[in-house]
Structure 1
Amino acid sequence: MKHHYLTEDHSIFRQALRKFLQKEAYPFYDEWEKNRMVPRAFWTKMGEQGFLCPDLDEVYGGSGVDWGFSVIINEELERVGSGLIGIGLHSDIVVPYISEYGSEEQKKKWLPACTSGKMITAIAMTEPDTGSDLAGIKTTAKLEGDHYVVNGQKTFITNGIHGDLVIVACKTDTTINPPHKGISLLAIERDAPGFSRGRKLDKVGLHCQDTAELIFEDCKVPKDNLIGEEGKGFQYLMNKLQQERLIVAIAAQTASEEMFSLTMDYVKSRQAFGRPIGEFQNTQFKMAEMATDIEMGRVFLDGLIAEHMDGKDVVTKVSMAKYKLTEMARQIATECMQLHGGYGYMEEYQIARRYRDIPVASIYAGTNEIMKVIIAKNLGL
């Protein structure tokens, strides 16, 4: 499908990326899943080819292109497998905090390494006792001279093991009311004293994604690592969650398209009672229903991407897309596994992996219940 926000340059870029992934990702993805890790070498190869943070200015190592190129990267990585979400998180979720709110010194120090793949980033918001209630985080950062002293714990952190630079949401003021005004963002580097990794978490799906716990025990962080201004962390997070949730919606839509394609091939080739199962009316109805949902989802999503690229406030629509497209993907995963029959439950069939990977999309980047709260609020309820 020709998306109206894409040009011939985008098409050429997609072809180059697909060729790269056919050589560097598809043949190794099953191995990465078994090893529970995407190797750092893949990140540096992505960086060498200009596939990380392409929208950054050239002075920082980017290509200075529009966000349509990032959309293509996220779509094509999802086609390989959902476990590659950490790359999109790095380029389109974490790095923008530095490029938009960071000082010029911070940009020069970190961004070139981010575009080359030598520095992998993560963002740490969620805590063991704090998920959707971001204002309730307990991690603290106390300024002592020229350093902050950070104490607390984060969990479910994407890129948690590989992460060389982690943007950490913490409380620099624990007395202010309302509490969210006490939140600030600190960039904590891998070798910061008092910073350690906890467990590499064993998940139902996304096996090659290095999700981990992070621990800060009297962790010393230079005050120059403060992102933006003290007390504005919550505002920065809210501003950037629009793009984060859009990334999740893009991945969900792409996964639905991939699962449908896999299943279409299967129902055309799989024989039962002397004919392909695609000739049975139940199968045809299921495929027709999924095709309709996918087509409608794609049209809505593409319009939303175009609005986002134009700089419009699309918080309500992004919340709708994140909620609806992740729910759609989860339903399609179930239907497609059912149509695969017993083979769909076998690890050798990709639909089994997709079935495991999809459900978490309705949880991270704000649960779908939170999406409905946002939608309702913006409707005036």
Structure 2
Amino acid sequence: MSDDHLAERHHQLRAQVRQFAESRVAPRVPDMERTSVVETELASAVAQRGWIGVTIDKAYGGMGAGHLAKTIIIEELSRVSGAMGAIAQASQLGVAKIIHFGNEQQKQHWLPQIAAGSCLPTIAVTEPEAGSHVLGMQMTARLKGDHYVLNGRKQYVGNSHIGDLHGVVARTGQGSQGLTAFLVEADRPGLTLAPHTPHLGLHGFSFGELHFTNCRIPMANRLGLEGQGLDVAYSSSVLYGRPNLTAVALGIHQAILEQTIRFTRERIRYGSQLHNLLNIKVKVGQLHSRVMTARLAAYHAAHLLDTGAACDAELMNAKVTNVELALDSARAAMEIHAAAGLHGDAPLSRYLRDAHHIFAPAGTSDVQWLRLADFALGQHKDQWSQRLSTAPTPPALAVDGERA
């Protein structure tokens, strides 16, 4: 599915998000880059426009607009600021666990708050000693009376410092059936945050550590059944993590192309614009081709997810294609910019740093290729995209950020 084949409501949504990103986000980027302070004001502004609730059903106050609309929102924010795209995708990722595993009481309580922008959810799975190996996690949740007591650490939690509700997976027993998920409010006693530390890129975004010390969680905060934690973790990663990160990479990739076109038009060499040199023009054509290919993979996978089709392979392919092609384009663009791209405050420097942050979450490229090999060899198991599909029918989207 190309940009030309999007529905009118998607074009309207893109225009809304682009106007917001260029008018509200772009002026803040220099300060975000200079200070690396976690951006809270813009995160709140994004949430209040209803965009975190893009996949939440209208019955709970959400947009009910689906995954393709979600992709466009993240893409357009990331085109201006990878950090803002990451903030949006991390909280939209946190929505998945409640949609697919929350009971009706939990949905009624939390989803309207998320849709209204008053609650930012997160997902907390990764641990220092286990990385993305979910079955290797060591954090424990022990049932004592009518409460669970959580002890352990989670790291690389997207929106760690601005999240209001953390979806935490902890060990309640042995093996793959010994993991359970919980909803943990950010102000819950026993939960503390490690100080925010700047990283290579995505300045303004927080993905830090949560520390749990005898943190008591009522049974009502358990998400799904005891032993379903692995399902919660995997479904969130497959159905939201991969397409969300795909969209961040796509937005950064589009920004790389646009910046390179501007540079080759403005830079004069041998009495003519830089892009008139044939070797430079070829590189610009390659950049354009990569962006087109990446967008087709991203939109196609999101569209299939919206229709309820089995599309785990397409989601994996979209993620690995977008990440790898964005990194390839970042390097090619740096070659075109030469020394001009090496300044710390150069836009291309930011795009390159931000793009590297999308490689590891929801599975590195090697992980995606291994899983794709399973599909090619007929060794794959059940598909999450089909098991948890709701196949919503997205409504029309009104202009100016209002939900129809």
Establish whether TM, by shorter chain, passes 0.5.
Answer: yes
Offset, 1:52? 2.3
Question: SS where residue 325 of structure 2 aligns?
Answer: helix
1:248 pairs with 2:232: no
Report % sequence identity: 27
Q: Structure 2 length normalisation: TM-score?
A: 0.88
* Contact in 1 for aligned 2:183/2:221 (Cα 8 Å): yes
* Contact in 2 for aligned 1:36/1:210 (Cα 8 Å): no
Question: SS where residue 148 of structure 1 aligns?
Answer: strand
Offset, 1:154? 1.0
1:225 pairs with 2:221: yes
1:235 to 231, 234, 247: 231
- Name the structure 2 match of 1:90: 91
2:300 to 290, 298, 303: 303
- Name the structure 2 match of 1:289: 286
Offset, 1:303? 2.0
Unpaired segments of 5 or more residues in structure 1? none
Off by >4 Å, runs of 4+ in structure 1: none
1:27 pairs with 2:27: yes
* Cα distance in 2, alignment partners of residues 200 and 262 from structure 1: 30
Q: Deviations over 1:30-76 (max 9, x none)?
A: 22233324533323322333222123233422123333321221111
* Cα distance in 1, alignment partners of residues 128 and 314 from structure 2: 30
2:201 to 190, 205, 217: 205
- Name the structure 1 match of 2:81: 81
Offset, 1:2? 5.3
Offset, 1:170? 0.7
Distance 1:289 1:16, change over 3 A: closer
* Cα distance in 1, alignment partners of residues 359 and 39 from structure 2: 27
Alignment of structure 1 residues 52-67 onto 2, 5 Å: 52-67=52-67
* Cα distance in 2, alignment partners of residues 40 and 351 from structure 1: 25
Q: Counterpart amino acid of 2:125?
A: M
Q: Deviations over 1:249-272 (max 9, x none)?
A: 222223222201110111122012
- Name the structure 1 match of 2:184: 188
220-229 or 12-21, which moves further after superposition?
12-21
1:367 pairs with 2:364: yes
Offset, 1:5? 6.1
1:345 pairs with 2:307: no
Question: SS where residue 54 of structure 2 aligns?
Answer: coil
Question: SS where residue 362 of structure 1 aligns?
Answer: coil
1:314 to 303, 311, 319: 311
* Cα distance in 1, alignment partners of residues 297 and 172 from structure 2: 40
Q: Between Structure 1 and Structure 2, how many residues are aligned?
A: 376
* Cα distance in 2, alignment partners of residues 200 and 35 from structure 1: 12
* Cα distance in 1, alignment partners of residues 287 and 12 from structure 2: 30
Question: SS where residue 358 of structure 1 aligns?
Answer: helix
Question: SS where residue 127 of structure 1 aligns?
Answer: coil
Offset, 1:148? 0.5
* Contact in 2 for aligned 1:34/1:208 (Cα 8 Å): no
* Cα distance in 2, alignment partners of residues 16 and 39 from structure 1: 21
- Name the structure 2 match of 1:114: 114
Q: Counterpart amino acid of 2:102?
A: G
- Name the structure 1 match of 2:272: 275
Q: Deviations over 1:181-227 (max 9, x none)?
A: 11111111112121101131321111110121110111111111111
Unpaired segments of 5 or more residues in structure 2? 380-404
RMSD: 1.9
- Name the structure 1 match of 2:373: 376
Q: Counterpart amino acid of 2:89?
A: G
1:161 pairs with 2:155: no
Q: Structure 1 length normalisation: TM-score?
A: 0.93
